[in-house]
Amino acid sequence: MHYIDAFNHFFPKALWQRIQQLDGAGKDIGRRMQGIPCIHDLEARFRVMDEFKDYTQILSLGMPPLEAMGGPELSTEFAKLGNDGLAELVEKHPDRFAGFVAALPMNAPEAAVREAERAFTELGANGLQIHTNVNGAPLDEERFFPIFEAAARHGKPVLLHPSRNSSMPDYATEDKSKYEIWWTFGWPYETSVAMARLVFSGFMDRLPGLKVLAHHMGAMVPYFEGRVGPGWDQLGKRTSDEDLSLVLKRLKKRPLDYFKDFYADTAVFGSRAATLCGLEFYGSDRILFASDSPFDPEKGPGYIRDTLKILNTLDLPKADLEKICFRNAEALFGLSAH
What does the pLDDT read at residue 78? 97
pTM of the model: 0.95
What does the pLDDT read at residue 22? 81
Those residues whose C-beta lies under 8 Å from the C-beta of residue 253, and which sit 6 or more positions away, are none
C-beta of residue 135 within 8 angstroms of C-beta of residue 68: yes
Q: pLDDT for 77-86, tens place per residue?
A: 999 999 999 9
What does the pLDDT read at residue 209? 95
How far is Cα 113 from Cα 85, in angstroms, rounded to an integer? 19
Mean pLDDT calculated for residue range 209-220: 97
Mean pLDDT calculated for residue range 138-147: 98
Residue 28 pLDDT class (50, 70, 90 cuts): low
C-beta of residue 82 within 8 angstroms of C-beta of residue 66: yes
Q: pLDDT for 158-168, tens place per residue?
A: 999 999 999 99
My answer on whether omega of the bond before 72 falls inside 30° of 0, hence cis, is no
How far is Cα 141 from Cα 181, in angstroms, rounded to an integer? 27
Is residue 25 over pLDDT 60? Answer: no
Pairing of strands 3-9, 287-288: unpaired
Residue 319 CB neighbours (<10 A): 9
Q: pLDDT for 281-331, tens place per residue?
A: 999 999 999 999 999 999 999 999 999 999 999 999 999 999 999 999 999
What does the pLDDT read at residue 26? 55
Burial 217-256 (b: 16+ CB within 10 A, else e): bbbbbbbebeebeeebeebeeeeeeeeeeebeeebeeebb
Is residue 145 over pLDDT 70? Answer: yes
Is residue 24 over pLDDT 90? Answer: no
Q: pLDDT for 229-264, tens place per residue?
A: 999 999 999 999 999 999 999 999 999 999 999 999
